[in-house]
């Protein structure tokens, strides 16, 4: 089966749309489509897994709690987020598409 991650994008999104593409054991790969959504002010993601994200389309801002400034992401940019590294999405453009891979730390 062939899938194009940039086709058949959901429109007029009240919330981000997460689509699981692959799951194998404790590893999962998802497509995330954003359309202006951000992390609510004062909230931070703090997850127990590694997360690697690749911005496929659109634009986004990513802020880490331990950094003074946002990271501006454009298509092709990728970031590895270590477990429990607090972060938040500060902006997304229209039809922003992410590819995200999560996996647990080695035991």
pLDDT in tens, 23-42: 999 999 999 999 999 999 99
E strands, 15-84, in order: 17-24, 27-34, 50-57, 60-64, 71-73, 78-81
**Is the predicted pLDDT of residue 11 greater than 90, yes or no?**
no
Is the pLDDT assigned to residue 1 strictly greater than 80?
Answer: no
Task: Give burial (CB, 10 Å; 0-12/13-18/19+) of 50.
Answer: middle
Spatial CB neighbours of 31, under 8 Å, sequence gap ≥ 6: 5, 18, 19, 21, 97, 98, 99, 100
pTM for the structure as a whole: 0.91
pLDDT value, residue 18: 93
* Whether CATH 2.60.120.10 fits 17-103: yes
């Amino acid at each position: 089966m062939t899938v194009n991650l940039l086709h058949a994008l959901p429109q007029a999104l009240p919330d981000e749309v997460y689509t699981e593409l692959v799951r194998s054991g404790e590893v999962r790969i998802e497509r995330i489509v954003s359309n202006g959504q951000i992390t609510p002010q004062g909230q931070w993601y703090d997850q127990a897994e590694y997360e690697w994200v690749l911005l496929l389309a659109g634009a986004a801002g990513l802020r880490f709690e331990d950094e003074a400034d946002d990271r501006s992401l454009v298509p092709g940019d990728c970031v590895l987020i270590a477990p429990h590294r607090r972060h938040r999405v500060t902006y997304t453009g229209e039809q922003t598409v992410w590819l995200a891979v999560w996996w647990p730390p080695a035991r």
